[in-house]
Every structure is written in C-alpha cells, then in structure tokens.
C-alpha cells in the first residue's frame, strides 16, 4: 500500500516573515489530517525557522534544490550535508531548473546520487514540454528523463517521482486525471524494467501541474497516482488544507 503524499513547492516565494505567517495559518489544520504524508518545501532561507515551527507535528520538510558537491568553493550553493541537517526531502530536476538553470540529465543524476548518499529523500521531477506532448512524444521523453536521471544508481531509497507535464505547471491548465494516470502507469512500468516489479509497485509517483482544491480529487482517485506536487496552491493555506483534506478522505 503506497501512502499518498501532498508536497507543497513554495518556489521563490515568501520572505522569512511571510513563511512564518503561512506556516502559522496551515499548521493547526494540517497537523490533524491523517492518512497522507504532508510535505512543505519553503525557500532555503526559511528552512531552519520552519523546522522549528513544525517540530513535533506530522508535517515534513523538504528543500527545492541542492548542489551535487558536499562542500567547498562553490559560492552561493547549498550542499546536501547542510540540507540533511535540516530537512527530509529535496526536490530534484524541477522543470524550472531544467529550463532556466540548464539542468541536464547528467546534473540531475549527480544531484540524486548525492542526495541518496546523505540520506535525503529525493522528489525527482520529470515531464514533457507542450510541443513534445503535441508530437505524441510523452512516453519517449519521460523514459529518457528517467534513464538519464537514474543512470548507474542501484539503490533509490525512498525516492518519490513527480510527473509534471511542463505545459501544466503554473498555467492553470492541468492535465486530466485519466491522461496523467496513463503516463504514470507507463513511468511505473519503466521503473519495473529498470529495477524490478516490487520496487515499481512501492515507489510513489505524484502528479504535478496546476493542482487546486477544485481538481485534486480527479487526480488522487486514479489508481496509479499517489498524490500531488503542488506549486501555486500551496501558498494559500485554505487551498492547501483543502487539497490535503480531500486526499485524506479519498485515501480512506
Ligand atoms: C510545481 O511547482 O511543481 C507545480 C506543479 O506548480 P503549479 O502547481 O503552480 O502548477
């Protein structure tokens, strides 16, 4: 049985005081919802204070990125060792990083390796662009991304995968539950080929892309979809609470 997960990616939003306020608004309601793993991923500079604020609660903490070296002369970067001290999860390979920061499959692979080495749980993002989708290349693109991201990695620990069609991120134009269920089924079959069937059945695969309180049910009702990575709607306490609450009700 895969435990459903809802992860909130705050992206480059919230000052430290806004992060404190947002956690204050979410915490009481979120803490009491069971049956769903609840993760929030604030910006790096707020991780330490948010860690204190959620201490003793059922809310888990994640970062949005990391560098692939453990330490050294890499001005401005954040190392996996720094994060392992602060949080449990780390988002790797988000399409915004691939698009704006030229993250290639090789870089994603290095980041995954180091995250697993220091005991962070990666949330690996993959997904096709609009033109790839329209050209019917979705399966080819996601399997290529899986292959390059996971190349040579034997042990994936508690890896979580987020299938995020790039055309659905931040656009208000979500995929349908049926479409994403099919693609996630393909991703799971590909994981079975790369690893084995039992791991493929265990690994959680989330949907991401314009998830809101109005459409979350359509996704988490699907047999292959194990929750959602939520961007914009995770910045609104009432929306995020409703997304988590509906997921918990569907999880039963
Ligand atoms: C994301 O950042 O991963 C995301 C899915 O964003 P949004 O929910 O805003 O589309």
| Residues 1-37: tens digit of each pLDDT | 899 999 999 999 999 999 999 999 999 999 999 999 9
For residue 197, the model assigns a pLDDT of 96
For residue 221, the model assigns a pLDDT of 97
- Name beta bridge partners: 142: none
- Ligand 1 contacts CB of residue 229 (under 6 A): yes
- Ligand 1 contacts CB of residue 99 (under 6 A): no
CA 210 to ligand 1 centroid distance, Å = 6
CA 156 to ligand 1 centroid distance, Å = 24
For residue 115, the model assigns a pLDDT of 98
The closest of 168, 184, 170 to 220, measured between CA atoms, is 184
* Per-residue CA distances from 94 to 25, 127, 214, 247 (Å): 27, 9, 24, 23
CB 64 within 8 A of CB 9: yes
Q: What is the DSSP string of 76-91?
A: T---HHHHHTT-SEEE
The closest of 124, 134, 216 to 163, measured between CA atoms, is 124
Nearest CA to ligand 1 atom 1: 231
Nearest CA to ligand 1 atom 6: 231
CB 46 within 8 A of CB 19: yes
CB 120 within 8 A of CB 88: yes
Kindly give the parts of the chain with pLDDT less than 50: none
For residue 85, the model assigns a pLDDT of 92
CA 170 to ligand 1 centroid distance, Å = 5
CA 229 to ligand 1 centroid distance, Å = 7
Helix (H, G, I), strand (E, B) or coil at 74: coil
Mutate to test the pocket of ligand 1, among 6, 123, 231 (most ligand atoms within 8 A of CB): 231
For residue 1, the model assigns a pLDDT of 84
Record the pTM.
0.97
Which atom of ligand 1 has the smallest separation from the CA of 168?
Answer: 10
For residue 252, the model assigns a pLDDT of 86
Give catalytic residues, as residue numbers.
94, 164
- Ligand 1 contacts CB of residue 65 (under 6 A): no
CA 39 to ligand 1 centroid distance, Å = 14
Q: What are phi and psi of 250, to 5 degrees?
A: -70, -35
What does the alpha-carbon distance between residue 118 and residue 201 come to, in Å, rounded to a whole number? Answer: 25
For residue 239, the model assigns a pLDDT of 98
For residue 177, the model assigns a pLDDT of 97
């Amino acid at each position: 049985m895969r435990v459903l997960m809802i992860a909130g990616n705050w992206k480059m939003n919230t000052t430290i005081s806004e992060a404190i306020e947002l956690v204050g608004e979410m915490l009481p309601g979120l803490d009491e919802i069971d049956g769903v793993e609840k993760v929030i991923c604030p910006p790096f500079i707020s991780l330490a204070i948010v860690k204190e604020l959620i201490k003793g609660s059922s809310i888990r903490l994640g970062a949005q990125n990391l560098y692939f070296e453990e330490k050294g002369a890499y001005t401005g970067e954040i190392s996996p060792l720094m994060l392992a001290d602060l949080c449990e999860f780390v988002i790797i390979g988000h399409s915004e990083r691939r698009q704006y920061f030229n993250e290639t499959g090789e870089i994603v692979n290095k980041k995954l390796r180091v995250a697993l080495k220091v005991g962070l749980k990666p949330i690996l993002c993959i997904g096709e662009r609009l033109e790839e989708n329209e050209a019917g290349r979705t399966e080819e693109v996601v399997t290529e991304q899986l292959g390059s991201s996971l190349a040579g990695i034997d042990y994936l620990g508690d890896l979580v995968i987020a299938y995020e069609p790039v055309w659905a991120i931040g656009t208000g134009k979500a995929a349908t539950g049926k479409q994403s269920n099919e693609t996630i089924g393909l991703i799971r079959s590909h994981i079975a080929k790369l690893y084995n069937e039992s791991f493929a059945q265990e690994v959680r695969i989330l949907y991401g892309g314009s998830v809101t309180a109005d459409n979350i049910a359509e996704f988490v009702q699907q047999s292959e979809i194990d929750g959602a990575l939520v961007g914009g709607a995770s910045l609104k306490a009432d929306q995020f609470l409703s997304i988590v609450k509906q997921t918990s009700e569907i999880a039963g």
